[in-house]
Structure 1
Amino acid sequence: MKNTSFPLSELDYTTYNYTDEDEKSTYSSIYNIVKILNIILYSIIFILGTTGNGLVIWIAGFKMQKTVSVLWFLNLAIADFVFDIIFPLLITELIMDGHWPFGNTMCKVVFTILFLNMSVSTSFLMIISVDRCIAIMCPVWSKNHKSPKLATTISAIIWTTCFMLSSPYFAFFEMVHYGDNETSIPYCIDTYADDDEDKQIMRIQIMIIVRLISMFLVPFSIIVICYSLIVFRLRRSRSLSKSNRPLKVIVTIVLCFFCFWFPFHVWPLLEIMNVELDFIVDFIMSHLVYTIGFFNSCVNPMVYVFVGRDFKKSFFKSIPFLLENTLKEKDVSETEPRFEQTMMETEMEGYD
């Protein structure tokens, strides 16, 4: 079974056997195209992600009162920002054809942080949806029980749990040298159990299944349930007939989560099921699904700002002002006279 955790080490197409020179030339061309596209896309993720999430951290962390909603978005932005600042190392690895020049410790740390922050990011997206659902379904209870202290405690629990789920990557990722002693080339790969193929396969399957459940099935199910309850409440109160803005926000959030993370988690399942795929298709898709998932880290700030608003009006506002206005949490008591419509607008501001 080949590497199913991270595809960068597979960029060295020369390690495969070819039937003739034409086949090798074809693979070489595809390899170069995938390499260049990945470098471009990773650079875009790095620039957009660090800029957008850095702006959210600056405003939510230093310019605003620490309300519950602000703390959710601050933690989400921190997770995405830490994820994004690692991309220069991954870009360097791409440029060097999958070779890893940063040492064994960085190999372990970098890929552990990658999976840790992906897990944290999806967890906070789930928590934000639960918070919105509770605020709309049970506004009085939410007002009386929600507090920054509770949000801080929940945030600490999320980070700790995600760290525990991601810690095996620190043990399994190793810098391995291939080739002769004088010309050996270092790669950062997931070793699992090289000395025992059965144990290796079992560990790979466990990691992929745990990742699928904890980072996709559970969060996505909860997100869908929460927003379905919100839509049901609004339909019953006929708020959606007055404005379709809340529904657009909800659909965008759910679709973004599904489109970014479904391919990322489903593709490895095909590999552990030993589904036979053409090498070219396998090579391209292995990189594509990861790149799509990575883009989620730089899209979140854009969703906060632009979803559910008139883009032309938003465009002429300063981004710091718009983000600060987006993250503000209004008092539930201000919305009670027109609960069904204005409560949704207030609670969904975190995604606008």
Structure 2
Amino acid sequence: MTTVIITYTVQYLCSDSCHLPLYHSNHFSSSSIMEMENYTSALHIDNFSTAVTENEQTFSDSLLQRINIQIINITIYSIISILGTVGNGLVIWIIGFKMEKTATLIWFLNLGIADFMFCLLLFLHIIQIVHPHYWPFGWIMCKTWNFNLLLNLCASVLFLMIISVDRCICVLYPMLAKIHRTSRLASIISVITWIISMVISSPNIAFQHYIVHDDQHSSCFLSYIRWDNASTFDIETSKRRHRAMIMTRFVSMFLIPFSIILVCYGLIALQVRKSTRIAGSGRTLKILFTIVICFFSCWFLFHIRSMIDYADIYLRYPSRVILDNLSICLAFFNSCLNPIIYVFIGRDFKKSLRKSIPFLLENTFREGKELPEILRERNDPPETPNQNMLRATGHGVRIVMHSIDRPPSLRSSSGARKNNELATMV
């Protein structure tokens, strides 16, 4: 019985390297080593049978804890994968086929693609957790799947940053946005963003390893050790590689994007508060606050965990296990939140959604009713014939300019409507 428990426990200890796709330690975890050391030292005490019984219970409890953690992770990852695939797939479908391509929608289309691909590839990670000692997809998929996971995570973060800059420009410099903010420029910036994401993620291809043990056992794992020349490998080189990757991801995927998002939405909030006549400005500020808090909450723990690895700080069990799993789940969950926060609360998207979803479900439910309105549309006052309109349309931002020869009363009404339109910004 003891042999069986030890065998399964060692298997689960070794499977920890497959559990976290983005960060892989080059050695066993400290908690794993301590468990093995405790077991070894216990074999030398006088009462051997008592020691074996106690260690059987210890390893049995550890095994059950690991099984429970694996089950929880599989459940959470499955929910994230399903919700993210459906939600972002809906975003891609609506924006790609139902709406006219503007600069703003190009940002959200690329954001949806990045999140959709990540949630789709998350199924491979779930399969690896279920079968930690068998990779059925071959060498090419092993080399590329972790790269694609990080690629889409990085692209998602960068597009969130670009969206914040785009909104800030639309609010602070509407005329500049009208002149230079074109679909062509947005497409070029999107291509550059994907290239930058590929460069940041490319080291994962070199450090991803595929080893075939026999017909029933194969491994796909991320390690900074060159296994083809491990005999002459310098452990310090491995640490430098690991730390370089951690710092690169921290700066490019959190420090710079979060700082820019914070500054941009802070400037937008100040602009909203300056316009005292804006209707619903409290709602606008709440949405901006929600965007910043969600981004920070989803990614802060993830990078704190990485910096702990960078500094070689030891965390005792179960603190390390809780931090590892919670941080990764929150980071992955961001791909589910993006469609809700950035897209579904937009007025133009909801109009297309109300037209499209009932059409697809009409033959199934035969109710013939549209989805209820999420946000009540404001009734704009009638426009006069001599009105000279210049609209710079962003995601939920519409700046209205009028000719200077209009009567003062109409100009006042125009200004009030401009403030009302700015309040719809999300």
Structure 1 and Structure 2 fold alike (TM over 0.5) = yes
Separation (CA, whole Å) in 2 of partners of 1:188 and 1:295: 24
- Post-superposition shift, 1:329? 6.0
Question: 2:294 is paired with a residue of what secondary structure?
Answer: helix
Task: State the partner residue of 1:153.
Answer: 188
- Out of 183, 187, 212, which is 2:219 matched to? 187
* Structure number with larger C-alpha Rg: 2
Name which of structure 1's ranges 273-282 and 42-51 shifts more when overlaid on structure 2.
273-282
The reply on whether 1:249 has 2:287 as its aligned counterpart is yes
Separation (CA, whole Å) in 2 of partners of 1:98 and 1:14: 18
Provide the alpha-carbon RMSD of the alignment.
3.2
- Post-superposition shift, 1:318? 7.1
Task: State the partner residue of 2:115.
Answer: 80
Output the TM-score relative to the length of structure 2.
0.71
Q: Which amino acid aligns with 1:187?
A: S
Unaligned 5+ runs, structure 1: none
Output the TM-score relative to the length of structure 1.
0.85
Separation (CA, whole Å) in 2 of partners of 1:240 and 1:187: 59
Separation (CA, whole Å) in 2 of partners of 1:14 and 1:268: 19
Separation (CA, whole Å) in 1 of partners of 2:396 and 2:272: 20
Going from structure 1 to structure 2, the CA distance change for 1:295 and 1:318 (only over 3 Å counts) comes to farther
Separation (CA, whole Å) in 2 of partners of 1:319 and 1:249: 26
Determine if contact 2:119/2:335 at 8 Å carries over to the other structure. Answer: yes
Task: State the partner residue of 1:119.
Answer: 154
Separation (CA, whole Å) in 2 of partners of 1:71 and 1:36: 38
Identity %: 38
Determine if contact 2:299/2:331 at 8 Å carries over to the other structure. Answer: yes
Separation (CA, whole Å) in 2 of partners of 1:68 and 1:192: 40
Separation (CA, whole Å) in 2 of partners of 1:272 and 1:256: 25
Question: What are the within-5 Å matches in structure 2 for residues 22-61 of structure 1?
Answer: 22-61=57-96
Q: Which amino acid aligns with 1:101?
A: P
Question: What are the within-5 Å matches in structure 2 for residues 308-327 of structure 1?
Answer: 320=357
- Post-superposition shift, 1:26? 2.1
Unaligned 5+ runs, structure 2: 1-15, 40-54, 227-232, 358-370, 378-393, 403-413
Q: Deviations 1:183-205 (Å, cap 9, x if unpaired)? A: 88433222223422111000000
Question: 1:332 is paired with a residue of what secondary structure?
Answer: strand
Going from structure 1 to structure 2, the CA distance change for 1:22 and 1:319 (only over 3 Å counts) comes to farther
- Out of 402, 407, 415, which is 1:337 matched to? 415
Determine if contact 1:249/1:307 at 8 Å carries over to the other structure. Answer: no
Question: 1:45 is paired with a residue of what secondary structure?
Answer: helix
Determine if contact 2:168/2:265 at 8 Å carries over to the other structure. Answer: yes
Name which of structure 1's ranges 119-128 and 233-242 shifts more when overlaid on structure 2.
233-242
Task: State the partner residue of 1:284.
Answer: 322
Name which of structure 1's ranges 277-286 and 213-222 shifts more when overlaid on structure 2.
277-286
Separation (CA, whole Å) in 1 of partners of 2:194 and 2:121: 18
Matched positions, count: 337
The reply on whether 1:262 has 2:278 as its aligned counterpart is no
Determine if contact 1:237/1:340 at 8 Å carries over to the other structure. Answer: no
Determine if contact 1:45/1:84 at 8 Å carries over to the other structure. Answer: yes
